[in-house]
Amino acid sequence: MRITTDTGRCVGAGQCVLTAPQVFDQDDDGLVTLLLAEPGAGEESAVRLAAGLCPSRAVTVHED
Ligand code: SF4
């Protein structure tokens, strides 16, 4: 699994950080930053949930 985020779409809602704090963080402006672009198996379900919860669809999961 690989993740990309689009800070142009991010509205700083923080759902991703609350759902998968090992993978996502927010910068000083509240925009998403990635701590782990290629999360391990233990993180995958939380990452999928975070991507689904993001209100602006700023998190994309790539299954490659
Ligand atoms: S949940 Fe979406 S909008 Fe909110 S901080 Fe994360 S990427 Fe940005």
13: number of Cβ within 10 Å:
16
Q: 15 in ligand 1 pocket by Cβ < 6 Å?
A: yes
What is the C-alpha separation between 42 and 11, in angstroms, rounded? 27
pLDDT tens string 13-24: 999 999 999 999
Query: Which residue CA neighbors atom 4 of ligand 1 most closely?
Result: 13
* Residue 55: CATH number of its domain: 3.30.70.20
pLDDT tens string 32-61: 999 999 999 999 999 999 999 999 999 999
Q: 23 in ligand 1 pocket by Cβ < 6 Å?
A: no
Domain count, the chain: 1
pLDDT tens string 30-39: 999 999 999 9
The parent domain of residue 9 ranges over: 2-62
35: number of Cβ within 10 Å:
12
Q: 18 in ligand 1 pocket by Cβ < 6 Å?
A: no
Q: From ligand 1's centre to the CA of 18, what distance in Å?
A: 10
